[in-house]
């Protein structure tokens, strides 16, 4: 039996930093009535160069923080945390946990050349999760995985349009372009924040695949199945927490949502 007020509880989302805000944006568009709590582990970002055990520990800490605030579901708004910790979290917690995965399947479906590229953090690039996706869906098609160390750090620092980001992107993208990819998977929630920069380098003929909207739709499906959708007519409220001061987090939140927010600290 669902409690009367349970559907009004917030949905929790967490990421290592600002990247998960791209997922929050998709959730707000698809589920505008939902209250949201976003947790950024800024003090420990990025996750891409951390060990699996470390990522699991931090992910559990943020889930505990969200559960203390009585969320009704948790979204792992981070590909790296999904690859490292999703299975562990689902074993530990009873509430719905919606995770991300690189959009390999949809990218393969739209590719005409049969060659797609996946941009990911080092941890995601070498994860069993991504390996399983490729094995399950690639068939005769080719999936080229490009680890992108350093890219998340630049995005977190707000250097999305700087020369460093441009040069790093060129370095990571050129081998994929030389191999004939016609579709690119943005396999990290941070990368949609530099969608335009990537598109300008690869050209308009190359399709970019993001995963925020599919995650939001899966969240909608799970909440509906459990009678947990918020039926309020007003727009939901958003709270933001960060493990370190981050003006970049507040700036990107405003750029994405059009609203101002003050990130509260957590340890």
Same domain, 220 and 150: no
pLDDT for the residue 267: 84
Q: Identify whether 88 is part of a domain.
A: yes
The Cα 202–Cα 223 span in angstroms is: 38
Higher pLDDT, 1 or 138: 138
Give the residue among 102, 108, 167 at the shortest CA–CA distance from 131: 102
Same domain, 194 and 217: no
Same domain, 114 and 205: yes
DSSP string, 205-244: TSEEE--HHHHHHHHHHHHHHTT-----SSPPPEEEEESS
Q: Identify whether 219 is part of a domain.
A: yes
Same domain, 114 and 188: yes
Residue with tokens 């049969």: 114
Same domain, 160 and 147: yes
Query: Which residues span the domain enclosing 17?
Result: 6-100+213-265
Q: Diameter of the chain by CA atoms?
A: 57
Domain end call among 193, 210, 227: 210
Same domain, 154 and 244: no
Confidence band of 5 (pLDDT split at 50, 70, 90): confident
Domain end call among 172, 187, 210: 210
Same domain, 24 and 92: yes
Same domain, 166 and 151: yes
Q: Identify whether 109 is part of a domain.
A: yes
Write out pLDDT tens, residues 228-267.
Answer: 999 999 999 999 999 999 899 999 999 999 999 999 999 8
Q: Identify whether 166 is part of a domain.
A: yes
Cα–Cα distances (Å) from 126 to 51, 52, 120, in that order, read 12, 11, 9
Give the residue among 229, 181, 219, 174 at the shortest CA–CA distance from 201: 174
- Per the CB < 8 A criterion, the answer to whether 161 and 196 are in contact is no
pLDDT for the residue 246: 86
Confidence band of 2 (pLDDT split at 50, 70, 90): very low
pLDDT for the residue 1: 46
Write out pLDDT tens, residues 31-68.
Answer: 999 999 999 999 999 998 899 999 999 999 999 999 99
Same domain, 56 and 117: no
Domain end call among 210, 226, 243: 210
Same domain, 239 and 185: no
Same domain, 111 and 206: yes
Catalytic residues: 78, 188
Neighbouring-strand partners of residue 12: 37, 74
- Per the CB < 8 A criterion, the answer to whether 100 and 189 are in contact is yes
Q: Identify whether 89 is part of a domain.
A: yes
Q: Identify whether 1 is part of a domain.
A: no
The model scores a pTM over 0.85: yes
**Distance, CA of 221 to chain centre:** 18
Write out pLDDT tens, residues 16-36.
Answer: 999 999 999 999 999 999 999
For residue 147, give every residue at least 6 positions away whose Cβ sits within 8 Å of its Cβ, in sequence order, or none. 120, 121, 122, 125, 126
Write out pLDDT tens, residues 181-196.
Answer: 999 999 999 999 999 9
- Which domain CATH number covers 74? 3.40.50.1860
Same domain, 187 and 256: no
How many domains, in total, are found in the chain? Answer: 2
Q: Identify whether 52 is part of a domain.
A: yes
The Cα 242–Cα 16 span in angstroms is: 9
Write out pLDDT tens, residues 193-239.
Answer: 999 999 999 999 999 999 999 999 999 999 999 999 999 999 999 99
């Amino acid at each position: 039996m669902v409690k009367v007020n349970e559907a009004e509880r917030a949905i929790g989302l967490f990421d290592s930093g600002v990247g998960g805000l791209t997922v929050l944006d998709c959730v707000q568009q698809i589920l505008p009535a939902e209250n949201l709590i976003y947790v950024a582990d800024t003090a420990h970002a990025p996750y891409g160069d951390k060990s699996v055990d470390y990522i699991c520990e931090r992910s559990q800490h943020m889930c505990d923080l969200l559960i203390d605030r009585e969320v009704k579901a948790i979204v792992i708004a981070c590909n790296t945390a999904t690859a490292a910790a999703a299975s562990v979290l689902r074993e530990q917690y009873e509430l719905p946990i919606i995770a991300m995965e690189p959009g390999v399947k949809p990218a393969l479906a739209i590719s005409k050349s049969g060659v797609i590229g996946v941009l990911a953090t080092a941890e995601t690039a070498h994860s069993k999760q991504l390996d399983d996706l490729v094995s399950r869906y690639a068939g005769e098609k080719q999936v080229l995985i490009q680890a992108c160390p350093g890219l998340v750090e630049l995005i977190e620092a707000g250097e999305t349009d700087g020369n460093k980001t441009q040069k790093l992107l060129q370095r990571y993208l050129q081998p994929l372009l030389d191999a004939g990819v016609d579709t690119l998977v943005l396999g990290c929630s941070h990368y949609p924040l530099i969608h335009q920069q990537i598109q300008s380098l690869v050209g308009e003929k190359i399709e970019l695949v993001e995963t925020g909207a599919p995650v939001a739709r899966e969240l909608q499906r799970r909440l509906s199945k459990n009678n947990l959708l918020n039926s309020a007519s007003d727009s939901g409220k958003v709270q933001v927490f960060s493990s370190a001061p981050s003006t970049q987090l507040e700036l990107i939140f405003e750029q994405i949502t059009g609203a101002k927010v003050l990130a509260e600290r957590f340890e």
